[in-house]
Amino acid sequence: MSFSGLLWQLFAIVLALALAPLLTGWVNQCRAWMQNRSAPPLLQPYYMLHKLFLKDVVLAHGASHLFRFAPFVVFGCMVLACAIIPTLSTDLPLAPAADTIALVGVFGLARIFISLAAMDIGTSFGSLGGRREMLVGFLAEPALLMVIFTTAMISQSTSVATIVETLAHRDFIIYPSMAFAGIAFTFVSFAENARVPVDNPATHLELTMIHEAMILEYSGRHLALIEWAAGLKLYAYSCLGLALFFPWGIAEGDSMFGLLLAIPVLVAKLAIGGALLAGIESVNAKVRIFRAPEFLGTAFLFAVLGLLVRLLLETRV
Amino acid sequence: MSAAIPLSAQLINLFASVILLLAFAMLAQRRVLPLINLFALQGLTLCLSTLVVAFTTGQAHLYGSAALTLVLKAILLPWILHRLVRKLQVKADVEGLINIPATMIAGIVLVMIAFNVALPISQLSSAISRGTLGIALASVMLAFLMMIIRTKAIPQVVGFLAMENGLFLAATSATYGMPMVVELGIALDVLVGVIILGVFFFQIRDQFDSLDIRHLEKLKER
Amino acid sequence: MDFFTLTLAIPLVSGLLLTVVGERAWAPNLNIIASLGTFLASALLTVEIVAAGPRFAFGEMFFIDSLNVFFVALTAFVGLTTSIFSGPYMRNEQEHGKLTRPRLRLYKSMFQMFMFTMLAALTTNNLGILWVAMEAATLTTVLLVSLYRTPASLEAAWKYFILCGVGIAQALFGTILLYFAAERVLGETGNALLWTHLVDVKGQLEPTIMALSFIFLLVGYGTKVGLAPLHNWLPDAHAEGPTPVSAVLSGLLLNVALYAILRVKVLADGAISGSFAGNLMMGFGLLTLVVAAFFLSRQKDIKRMFAYSSIEHMGLITFAFGMGGAVANFAGLLHMTMHSLTKSAIFFTVGHAAQKCGTQLMEDIRGLIRINPVVGWGLMLGTLAILGMPPFGVFASEFMILTHAMKHHPWATPILLLALGVAFAAIFGKVQPMVFGDTHAKPLPHAPAIIPVFVHLGLVLMIGLWIPPYLTRWFHEAARMLG
């Protein structure tokens, strides 16, 4: 580990912190354009965070320490996740810190804390949101793991960095398994990031909301941290997806040129990805909450099929 | 490792995966007409896959079977089924005996079984498309599952035909296709079968005023 | 024109002809004449094969040896007697208003087409064509089973189609695997599905593939044989279809399906060391035998009961061929013949009996011996024959199977005896009051054709007492070929 490596790692984290709200803003803007609405400014999430950080925190009477700690834990988890996922380079100091399975665990930890915090106050909306979040997570996590196993089998390693290096270096081959895994991953990301077919980030309709129901009681800097963490989660998932399925452009080693080139490539990929996300959200209708298991079941199905197809078709014994 | 797979084999694998995916989609589809369309799409994919095998191996008779698949399974049979649905005024919904997620899980288990059965065999094959044998068997089993869980006549027949698709894939993938005379015979049988079933549908509907085959459960051991 | 071509051409041409001309007064006679022609051609073909040995026809497309020529002759013979029987039977049905003229036309043309597909299945050398012909045989009979268009018959036909369709699809997969195994040895010539080529190289076929292929083929064709647990279609189709169709289904179609299994078993035995195929067949056979025997006692419908009896006998025959060896194969072939003849004779009498009493429910059929002594005695004797009473041929074959099983597979003996005992009690206990007892049924408008019944039973009796030497020789040769 070199000093410059450390610097780049720090830079990657700062970049994540800075880009995450921008990505959220970009998706919202695209969505507004596609739906023929006048779009909010690109920087709206920053204004939002700024405003929230300046406001006072109002705590419910029954709130415990857990309620106050949870936003920090969630935020910390997401920052860690962003640091582990190779956004700019595969050779950063934190990359060997955790493999993909641990990464899923980090996401899971954040989920547990936010659900617990939601139930902590004892309002019906909070518990409802927490329960629904756990339902989604319980179904999404196995699918995500299956996706990761498929990629791990191709590269024979569960370390994100190794997977990305292997995938970026392979010849151009049509992997049906990767196609299946990609579809499954898209499904999971939609569910995990409270996007349209499963949840709608833009409403407060009590019958349907999941994420919003959990954070109703938060205010001030706590809410700001949680919103930021949500942005980071979207950023993390996007980067993970890009790293797994479109790994080209991510630098290996810590050469200045490669890393500097990786930044615009990443921004461009995120911009396209965000626009696609907004597009998919616009053409789909939100499904009833009871159909969410079916949606995630499909994701799981795809992931397992990818794994099986990988085993059958692509291994030459 | 994987890098040695030639492009044609990749394409065949891709098409085979699509066929498997369509088999699952058919299992999950709740309505009749999209079901028939999915079946037609499966036939088309089958035809493309056969074409790739034919082109790669230079087996002339495979072009014939590809054409046969296209005409019969992607055009003629779906057309007949569409007509039947319109003439019989079948209700759009397909009801299953068990719910869809459970069906899917059963499907995954079947696919695993099929892959396990096929693995030792596909390793013996020298054919370029040998890996798809497991997928073929899996498609057959999924179609079989569809026939079991569906309670309406037309989806059962689509299941039957999808089974034929899987078998055809098995024939092209393991052995570059059966001898032409056999393939023609099979195609003829399938066509005649569907026509007879068409006649049969009308008889069933005249008798029961419905195509729900749960009416056909009177004959049991008492 | 040689005899083989005639054997295949007559049913095909007459089937088409009967479709074209429609239902005429002379159509039943044409049906009989065509069947007679087929039978004569097949008899002459048999003589030729017995004298000159196996031969090919149409290049290597068809192959006739001592094994299948014997089935061809049997099929043609039962086809002939069934067509004689069906003349007055179908007229009576028409008078009762159960059938219309277009349906009679359908019946006759499909009957001949059915004969054609079965003869083609028996004589083809190509295992792919064998599959095609078997499927075609299913298709021709689906419409025959639903001939009455009653809800029950539609249900039976639907079940028949779907179950046999699924079964036959398994068989196709088995055939594909077989082709796959063969192609590795024979190369990509068109000959890799020809049985005569396969049998030459059977020792070199890949055992793993052959084992899997045989399982699929056994399950697939086994569905048509009526092997448990895929036998459900059989009682329904037999009970709801017209009686002549029940007779040919039971007497012929099951045999043809079993013949297909036998052909493949020869290949599987050659490829796989040990008796894998035989053990599988023995297992399925015993299971079928036991399942059928216990279902027999619960039947109320007379045709259903005899359908279960067919399943039971098919189980016994499968068991016999599973044991393998010259004696068991001989017994199996003999039992197939005896069962075909006896069971079709029984269905003829059952058809008349049911027609007379206007029902198929056994509790309403009483006193056959008073209404028509000939039919009554026919049913009684047929039942005694199928139950394996001593003077009849079934006794001889069952005795051979049992003694062979006692010697080589003693564990199976109690199961066999139990199943046969249960079947005996069930059938005899139900047939006895039907034949003897009070009745007040009216005579039928058309006198039944009873000759076929007694011709069949006479043959069964004759073989039970004395098997002609040329028949023995012929059976022995076929049994030896099965290994």
Q: What is the mean pLDDT of residues C29-47?
A: 91
Alpha helices by DSSP H, listed for C358-440, are 368-371, 373-386, 393-408, 413-435
pLDDT of residue C1: 58
pLDDT of residue B1: 38
State whether A309 and B107 contact (CB < 8 Å). Answer: no
pLDDT classification of C225: cutoffs 50, 70, 90: very high
Q: Is A311 on the interface with B (CB under 8 A)?
A: yes
Chains with ≥3 CB–CB distances under 8 Å to A: B
Tokens of C290: 């036991």
A154 touches chain B (CB under 8 A): yes
Q: Do B193 and C151 touch (CB under 8 A)?
A: no
**Residue from B166, B122, B116 nearest B144 by CA:** B166
Helices (H), B58-152: 60-69, 77-88, 100-124, 132-149
Contacts of C200 (CB under 8 A, 6+ apart): none
Q: Are C457 and C345 in contact (CB under 8 A)?
A: yes
Report yes or no: C134 and C168 within 8 Å, Cβ to Cβ. Answer: yes
C contact chains, 3+ CB pairs < 8 A:
B
- In angstroms, the CA B17 to CA A183 distance is 13
Q: How far apart are CA B59 and CA B48, in angstroms?
A: 15
State the Cα–Cα distance between residues C95 and A6, nearest whole angstrom: 100
Give B81→chain A minimum CA distance, Å.
28
Q: Is the pLDDT of residue A183 over 80?
A: yes
Please tell me the predicted confidence (pLDDT) of residue C256.
Answer: 93
Report the pLDDT value the prediction gives residue A1, as an integer from 0 to 100: 54
Cα A301-A305-A307 angle, rounded to 5 deg: 120
Give, for A114, the enclosing helix (H) or strand (E): helix A100-120
Residue type, A210: I
Q: Cβ of C410: how many Cβ atoms within 10 Å? A: 9
Q: In whole angstroms, what is the distance from residue B3 CA to residue A260 CA?
A: 30
> Residues of B with CB below 8 A from C152's CB?
218-219
pLDDT band at A314 (very low <50, low <70, confident <90, very high): low
Percent of chain C with pLDDT over 90: 38
Q: Which of C309, C284, C252, C238 is nearest to C134 (CA)?
A: C252
pLDDT score at A90: 78
Q: With pLDDT > 70 as the criterion, what percentage of chain A qualifies? A: 94
Q: Does C152 contact B193 at a Cβ distance shorter than 8 Å?
A: no
- Which residue in the set C128, C159, C209 is minimally distant from B124, CB to CB? C209
pLDDT digits (tens, 9 = 90+) for B154-193: 888 888 889 888 888 888 877 777 777 778 888 888 888 8
The encoded tokens of residue A60 equal 């419910």
Q: What pLDDT is stored for residue A172 in this prediction?
A: 64
Using an 8 Å CB-CB cutoff, list residues of chain B that contact chain A. 1-5, 7, 10-11, 13-14, 16-18, 20-21, 24, 28, 100-101, 104, 107-108, 111-112, 115, 118-119, 122-123, 131-132, 134-135
Cα B164 to Cα B67, B201, C177: the distances in Å are 16, 20, 15
C75: pLDDT strictly greater than 90: yes
pLDDT at C311: 94
| Average pLDDT of chain C, as a whole number | 88
- DSSP structure string for B137-202: HHHHHHHHHHHHHB-BHHHHHHHHHHHHHHHHHHHHHHHS---HHHHHHHHHHHHHHHHHHHHHHH
Calpha distance C288→C302 (Å, rounded)? 20
pLDDT tens track for C353-393? 888 888 888 888 888 888 788 888 889 999 999 998 888 88
Cβ atoms A168, A151 nearer than 8 A? no
Give the pLDDT confidence score for residue B115 in this predicted structure.
85
CA C476 to chain centre: 21
The tokens for C27 are 């159509």
pLDDT tens digits, one per residue of A20-67? 999 999 998 998 998 888 888 989 999 999 999 999 888 888 888 899
Strand (E) or helix (H) holding C62: strand C62-64
Neighbours of B60 (CB within 10 A): 9
Mean pLDDT for all residues in chain A: 85
DSSP lists the bridge partners of residue A251 as A89
What is the predicted pLDDT for the residue at B126?
66
- Within 10 angstroms of residue C143's Cβ, the number of other Cβ atoms is 18
Using DSSP's 3-state secondary structure scheme, residue B31 falls into strand
Answer left, alpha or beta for residue A41, where phi above 0 means left and psi between -120 and 50 means alpha. beta
- Residue A317 DSSP SS3: coil
pTM, full prediction: 0.84
Q: For residue A81, give the nearest of A112, A53, A50, A102 by alpha carbon.
A: A102
Angle separating helix axes A176-192 and A124-155, nearest 10 degrees: 160
Residues C394 and C338: beta-carbon distance below 8 Å = yes
Distance in Å, alpha carbon of A312 to nearest chain B alpha carbon: 6
Nearest neighbour of A294 by CB, restricted to B13, B101, B115: B101
- Predicted confidence at residue A2, as pLDDT, reads 73
Q: How far apart are CA C239 and CA C243, in angstroms?
A: 8
Domain ranges in chain A are 3-314
Q: What is the pLDDT of residues A88-111, one digit of tens each?
A: 877 777 777 778 888 899 999 999
- C419 confidence band (pLDDT: 50, 70, 90): very high
C349 close to C375: Cβ distance less than 8 angstroms: yes
Chains C and A touch, contact meaning at least 3 pairs of CB atoms under 8 angstroms apart: no
In angstroms, the CA C313 to CA C412 distance is: 16
Q: What are phi and psi of A199, to 5 degrees?
A: -140, 160
Q: Spell out which residues of chain B touch residue C139, defining contact as CB-CB under 8 Å.
A: 189, 192-193, 196
3-state secondary structure of C144: helix
pLDDT tens track for C318-362? 999 999 888 899 999 999 999 999 999 999 999 888 888 888 888
Structure tokens at C342: 């006896």
Q: Name the residue of chain B whose CA is nearest to C184's CA.
A: B125
- Is the Cβ pair B140, C173 closer than 8 Å? yes
Amino acid, res. A270:
L
User: Nearest CA to C77 among C351, C459, C481, C461?
Assistant: C459
The answer to whether the CB of A44 falls within 8 A of the CB of A25 is: yes
Q: CB B100 to CB A294 under 8 A?
A: yes
Give CA separation, C112 vs C446, C450, C454, in Å: 23, 22, 23
pLDDT at residue A317 in the model: 42
Burial-class residue B89 by CB neighbours within 10 Å (0-12, 13-18, 19+).
exposed
Helix, strand, coil % (nearest 5) of chain A? 70, 0, 25
Q: Which amino acid is at C189?
A: T
Contact call for B125 and C126, based on CB within 8 A: no
Beta-carbon pairs below 8 A across chains A and B = 73
Nearest chain B residue to A183 by CA distance is B21
**pLDDT by 10s per residue, chain B, length 222:** 344 567 777 788 888 888 988 998 888 887 888 889 999 999 999 999 888 888 888 878 888 888 888 988 889 889 988 888 888 777 666 666 777 778 888 888 998 888 888 877 777 766 666 678 888 889 999 998 888 888 777 888 888 889 888 888 888 877 777 777 778 888 888 888 888 888 888 887 777 777 776 777 677 665
Which residue is it, tokens 């929230």?
A: A52
DSSP state of C55: E
Residue in C139, C188, C208 nearest the CB of B121: C208
Instruction: Determine the Cα–Cα distance for residues C318 and C278; give it in Å rounded to an integer.
Output: 9
Contact B2 A170 (CB under 8 A): yes
- Structure letter (DSSP) for residue B3: G
Residue A171 binned pLDDT confidence (cut-offs 50, 70, 90) = low
What pLDDT, on the 0 to 100 scale, is given for residue A77?
A: 93
Q: Can you tell me the mean pLDDT for A272-282?
A: 89
User: If you average pLDDT over residues A115-123, what whole number do you get?
Assistant: 88
